[in-house]
Amino acid sequence: MKASKGSPLLEKVKQRGDLHAAGCPSRGVLEHVTSQWGVLVLVALKEDGTHRFSELRRKVGGVSEKMLAQTLQALEQDGFVHREAHPVIPPHVDYSLTPLGEEVAVHVEALTSWIEDNVHRVMTARTQALPRKKAS
């Protein structure tokens, strides 16, 4: 939607995303960052710095080559991950966080750390959750 009433301040609003709005580009960014493998890749790179492709694959348990490549491309395109390919044989590619990636990874890691620390509380809650209907 175009703001035909040209208030300069209104233009600025465009720059701050609103995740409650369905069409906002920030939704896409959120999807990339909080995607199943996106979270784990960001944390892995934050914890241990630069990784090669296969290192990441080993570190992030259960991820397939396809999804890892796909995830890395999304994060690279969003400017969170830096990809450096060395033109040697055999190929050698290093992935690391950009400054932008470091910033977002701080928050992601805070979240994952909390989950790791409190997963037992959640498991307890699940046990006590009474099924709304009879288990068949």
Partner DNA sequence: CCGTATCCGCTCCGATACTG
Partner DNA sequence: CAGTATCGGAGCGGATACGG
- Positions touching DNA (CB under 7 A) are 36, 52-54, 62-67, 69-70, 72-73, 83, 85, 90-93, 95, 132-133
3's contact among DNA, its own copies, none, with CB below 5 to 8 A by partner kind, is: none
Query: What is the nearest approach in angstroms of its own copies to the Cβ of residue 90?
Result: 20
Phi/psi for 46 (5° steps) reads -70, -40
Considering only residues 79, 91, 92, 93, which one is a binding residue for its own copies as defined by CB under 8 A? 79
Residue 59 interacting entry, from DNA, its own copies, none, C-beta within 5 to 8 Å by type: its own copies
Of 76, 95, 71, nearest to 85 (Cα)? 95
Q: How far is the CB of 129 from its own copies (least distance, A)?
A: 5
- Candidate list 65, 69, 77, 91; residue touching its own copies; CB under 8 A: 77
Question: Please, where are the H alpha helices in the chain?
Answer: 8-15, 26-33, 36-48, 53-59, 65-77, 99-128
126 contacts its own copies (rule: CB under 8 A): yes
Classify 17 as helix, strand or coil.
Answer: coil
- Of 53 and 112, CB closest to DNA: 53
| Binding residues for its own copies restricted to 7-46, rule: CB under 8 A | 15-26, 29-31, 33-36, 39-40, 43-44
Cα maximum dimension of the chain = 61
User: In whole angstroms, how far apart are CA 59 and each of 7, 11, 54?
Assistant: 50, 43, 8
Q: DSSP character for 23?
A: T
Cβ 35 to its own copies shortest distance, Å: 8
- Phi, psi (5° rounding) for residue 93? -125, 130
